[in-house]
Amino acid sequence: MSQSEQQTDDAVVMIGIAKSFGGVAALEHVDFSVRKGEIHALLGGNGAGKSTVLKMLSGVHKPDKGEIWINGVKLEEHTPEAARRLGIAMIFQEMSLIPSLTVAQNIFLTREPKGAIGMLDDRTALKEARILLEKIGVNLDPRRRVDNLSSGQRQLTEIAKALSQQASVLIMDEPTSTLSSAEIDHMFAFLERLKKSHASIIYVSHRMEEIRRIADRVTVIRNGRNVMTKAVAETTLEAIVEEIVGRRVGAFDRKARATKAGEEVLRCVSVTAKPRPVEANLTVRAGEIVGIAGLMGSGRTSLAKSIFGLQPIASGEIRLKEKVVKISAPPDAVEAGIAMIPEDRLTQGLVLQHSVADNMTLPVIDRNSRFGFVQEAKEKTLVAAYIKQLRVKTASPQKPVRTLSGGNAQKVVLAKWLATDPLLLILDEPTAGVDIGSKTEIVEIVRGFADRGRGVLVISSEPAELLALSDRILVMAGGRVVREISSEEIESWAEHSTDAAHRISLMETGLQVAIQEANS
Amino acid sequence: MNAKSEVINGRSDNFVSRLKEEWRQYVIYLGFVVIFIFFSLTLSDKGFLDPNNLLNIVRQTTMIAVMAVAMTFVLSSGEIDLAIGAVAGLVSVTTAMSIARFGMFGGIIGGLLTGVVVGLVNGLLTTRVGIPSFLVTLAMMGIARGTAMWVSNTAAIPILDKTYYFTFGSGNIGPVPILLIWALVVAVIGHIALRKTTFGRKVLATGGSETAARFTGIKTHDIKLQVLIISSVAAAIAGMLYAGRLRSGRFQLGEGDELSVIAAAVLGGTSLFGGFGSVVGSIVGALMIGLINNGLILMGLEFSQQLIARGVIIILAVMVARSRR
């Protein structure tokens, strides 16, 4: 293809982009272009380099190699301001709007129309906002305060704000994850109209069904390279998923466990909460690891929160060891023998400023005390034992846990909960933001825990991780548990292959397809 | 992604940076010594080092110290209590009135009960209704002071019970003022409670990260409720000590103490944002404020000048001792 011609025709042209962080290559070589008036889906697994590409484009990072052209102008100065001037707008999810201001005030924030003596002219702002919203076909009163809007309306406000700044390329990252299906329809109709006015949209999503509905072309990034760019109409779901998964050599490996699933540990009977889960049913037996797969917003984390007492249950019941338990707050859950490794270890899992030792002993201080006094010798032994057993790398147990790497911090969270010796361990994204070595170690720790006859429930958005850990996998969509995948079925996806790396790729593809099917 | 997190976490903890972080924890003790030596040298002819003067500093500091111990818990849990000064005034009045009617034990019970009730209201409004403690206790400050003025008709209520005012503030055991014993007892209990008990750990965890503490199964609301009750009860004890020392209950007692108490705790290394606290630091902080007040008076500064000098010194000290984040 002739590049000079492309550069004048296309809204975005990225050529030979490479970038590494601290000596590790995040992007090796990416060519990526977006036509004017096109919705272009950008896909890739976790850590594939997708977000790095978008950060280059929006000026957050400077590429080590390669060129970026926006609307025929080369991006020379790699700052968010420069990229914005050339027409790039990133539509944030939870977002750059100030909740206490109105729609009109947000649209014109820092660029407010002013009157003769420099006073803010709210009337002109309101009028201009109205004209703008009407022009892009958004039915929204600009006088409304943002905190009274639904997520969909907020997103539209965000887009209106971007367009008022002459944006011609919108980057949208998982825009539908917080929207209802009616709002999604509305949003898609709006994007179609926007497209007709020659705006370009880069659309990032894990929902294949949406991509097939809205996108014109699709580009897949894997291991820091663009491996596929095709018109959506010319490809299939399976082909796209195969490209995303690729044949990557990951940290995970599926090893069949000799499961002797014992008595029932947990049973959820049509557990319902607002807004999710919806009539969720599941069981976990002693010695068993059950995985929960699903897209963002499918209710995976909400289900875990409901079991752990962080979100009130509207109806349904939770049974532990076949006895109905009433869990209205985390202390009840801990008391009943449930432990949860939360999704966000930095805010939910750890008191960052406190020491490794203090964090590890926090859930068991009552057990390690006599008449309210902490038995420090007992604690010391416990901390030393877990640091050794989980191989936590820390200069001393007294170091603040914030000084630890992601993997070691996660081991502290694990240690803290293993120390409570729970019946049931729930893990939400247990290896997110963790280095490869620690990932493997964490998988081993969890397996070891299950081998001791305890129940484990794992939630993950990384299929490889679920496959590595789980005996069975439940797929959630729209708040419901819609499918159960047995160990045999997982094995059947890879029955024709003996090569380990190929087998895990085949299983990943199988699971991804199952998740997508559950959503269509 | 991994590479990035390594860069963030890879900050090397070398000796210099550790020293830089840790000296701030002890600067309050150093500051105390420096100020003490400074006054000893400049005010030696004005009787600064006279044992009577030094004991006077202790007498004047005890109430602040008692409240500062409780404030250490309040701040460590991520809350604040601005009502303490007013509560001390109110309790001095209710105690004096109860003594007049029911005798000494009635007085003690009346005083403590006042503290518990105020603390319970503060705590319930903060944790159950969800109004920030800053606002609740700011409002309570006016309510407590107003109630004290109302029930006392703005008059001082004398206390004639000798045993009471000996035990609560006026007495001496040999050369030792009984107030010093009160301060020591409260300090020891507070220090042990914060460092050695599960309650102290839970307070620090709640203030360090309420979300993480809640996810860990700590009843953070209960902890905050308890801490606010403790704070009001400590203010009640301070009010009873004021009443004992002056042999009367007066609504003005404890006015402005909340600022001295918070300053003492922050000077002592307790974080205004929660998660860190030191009872010993708060005691030394309270002593330092008492020391400064005493020195400025001996220097012959006018009250107006004292206020300015005290403000400047506190700002300087907090700047140096600023929390380690």
pLDDT per residue as tens digits for the range B172-221: 998 899 999 999 999 999 999 999 999 999 999 999 999 999 999 999 99
Which of A54, A344, A365, A411 is best to mutate for the B interface (most B CBs within 10 A)?
A365
Give B276→chain A minimum CA distance, Å. 9
Residue A329, both tokens? 């707050």
pLDDT at B227: 98
Q: A with B: how many residue pairs have Cβ under 8 Å apart?
A: 104
Q: B90 φ, ψ to 5°?
A: -60, -45
The predicted-structure confidence for A464-480, as pLDDT tens digits, reads as follows 889 989 999 999 998 99
The predicted-structure confidence for A102-116, as pLDDT tens digits, reads as follows 999 989 888 888 887
pLDDT at A93: 62
Residue A202, both tokens? 């880069």
The predicted-structure confidence for A323-373, as pLDDT tens digits, reads as follows 999 999 999 999 999 999 999 999 999 999 999 999 999 999 999 999 999
pLDDT at B321: 61
Instruction: Please judge whether B4 and A373 are an interchain contact, meaning their C-beta atoms are less than 8 angstroms apart.
Output: no
pLDDT at B14: 57
B128 touches chain A (CB under 8 A): no
Contacts of A361 in chain B (CB under 8 A): 201
Hey, which residues 398-417 in chain A have their CB within 8 Å of chain B? 399, 403-406, 416
Give B195→chain A minimum CA distance, Å. 9
Q: Which of B1-15, B139-153, B196-210, B292-306 has the lowest mean pLDDT?
A: B1-15
Give B262→chain A minimum CA distance, Å. 22
Instruction: In whole angstroms, give the CA distance from residue A205 to residue A184.
Output: 13
Instruction: Please judge whether B208 and A351 are an interchain contact, meaning their C-beta atoms are less than 8 angstroms apart.
Output: yes
Nearest-Cα residue of chain B relative to residue A337: B217
pLDDT for B10 beyond 60 = no
Q: Cα B21 vs. chain centroid, distance in angstroms?
A: 25
What is residue B168's DSSP assignment?
I
Rounded mean pLDDT, B287-306? 89
A437 Cβ neighbours under 8 A, 6+ residues apart: A251, A407
B304 touches chain A (CB under 8 A): no
Buried b / exposed e along A423-446 (16+ C-beta atoms within 10 A): bbbbbbbbbbbbbeebbbbbbebb
The predicted-structure confidence for A27-67, as pLDDT tens digits, reads as follows 999 999 999 999 999 998 777 888 889 999 999 899 999 99
pLDDT for B317 beyond 80 = no
Q: Cα B150 vs. chain centroid, distance in angstroms?
A: 26
B99 band by pLDDT with thresholds 50, 70 and 90: very high
CB A401 within 8 A of CB A354: yes
Give A117→chain B minimum CA distance, Å. 38
Closest Cα partner for A240 from A251, A248, A232? A232
Instruction: In whole angstroms, give the CA distance from residue A228 to residue A234.
Output: 12
Contacts of A412 in chain B (CB under 8 A): none
Instruction: Please judge whether A358 and B204 are an interchain contact, meaning their C-beta atoms are less than 8 angstroms apart.
Output: yes
pLDDT for B224 beyond 50 = yes
Hey, which residues 16-35 in chain A have their CB within 8 Å of chain B? 20-24, 26
Give pTM, 2 decimals: 0.80
Q: Looking at the DSSP assignment, which residues form a beta bridge with residue A34?
A: A12
Q: Which of A78-82, A136-140, A359-363, B298-302 has the lowest mean pLDDT?
A: A136-140
Contacts of A393 in chain B (CB under 8 A): none
A251 touches chain B (CB under 8 A): no
Give the ipTM of the model, two decimals please: 0.82
Instruction: Please judge whether A24 and B3 are an interchain contact, meaning their C-beta atoms are less than 8 angstroms apart.
Output: yes
- Which uninterrupted H or E stretch holds A519? helix A500-519
Instruction: Please judge whether B209 and A351 are an interchain contact, meaning their C-beta atoms are less than 8 angstroms apart.
Output: yes
Residue A483, both tokens? 């499918």
Q: Which residue has the tokens 């150093």?
A: B30
Q: Which of A6-10, A62-66, B230-234 has the lowest mean pLDDT?
A: A6-10
Which of B22, B198, B273 is best to mutate for the A interface (most A CBs within 10 A)?
B198
Half-sphere exposure of residue A511, counting CA atoms within 13 Å on the CB side?
33
Rounded mean pLDDT, B96-105? 96
**How far, in Å, are A108, A125, A190, A192, A231 from residue A185 at the CA level?**
27, 29, 9, 11, 22
SS3 for A410? helix
Rounded mean pLDDT, A256-274? 87
pLDDT for B4 beyond 50 = no
pLDDT at B26: 75
Q: Report chain A's terminal Cα–Cα distance, integer Å.
A: 36
DSSP class per residue in B264-275: HHHHTT--TTSS
B12 band by pLDDT with thresholds 50, 70 and 90: very low
Rounded mean pLDDT, A441-456? 93
Instruction: Please judge whether A362 and B201 are an interchain contact, meaning their C-beta atoms are less than 8 angstroms apart.
Output: yes
pLDDT for B325 beyond 70 = no
Question: Across the interface, which of B5, B211, B325 has its CB nearest the CB of A348?
Answer: B211
Mean pLDDT of chain B, nearest integer: 89
Contacts of A342 in chain B (CB under 8 A): 215
Hey, which residues 20-79 in chain B have their CB within 8 Å of chain A? none
A2 band by pLDDT with thresholds 50, 70 and 90: very low
pLDDT at B175: 87
Give B1→chain A minimum CA distance, Å. 7
CB B2 within 8 A of CB B9: no
Contacts of A373 in chain B (CB under 8 A): 196-198
Instruction: Please judge whether A347 and B9 are an interchain contact, meaning their C-beta atoms are less than 8 angstroms apart.
Output: no
The predicted-structure confidence for B67-85, as pLDDT tens digits, reads as follows 999 999 999 999 999 999 9
pLDDT for A272 beyond 60 = yes
DSSP class per residue in B192-226: HHHHHBHHHHHHHHHHH-HHHHHHTT--HHHHHHH
pLDDT at B21: 59
pLDDT at A5: 45
**Peptide linkage before B177 cis (omega within 30 of 0):** no
Rounded mean pLDDT, A148-174? 88
A151 band by pLDDT with thresholds 50, 70 and 90: confident
Give A365→chain B minimum CA distance, Å. 6
Instruction: Please judge whether B2 and A24 are an interchain contact, meaning their C-beta atoms are less than 8 angstroms apart.
Output: yes
B316 band by pLDDT with thresholds 50, 70 and 90: confident
Nearest-Cα residue of chain B relative to residue A343: B215
Contacts of B204 in chain A (CB under 8 A): 351, 354, 358
Residue type, A245: V
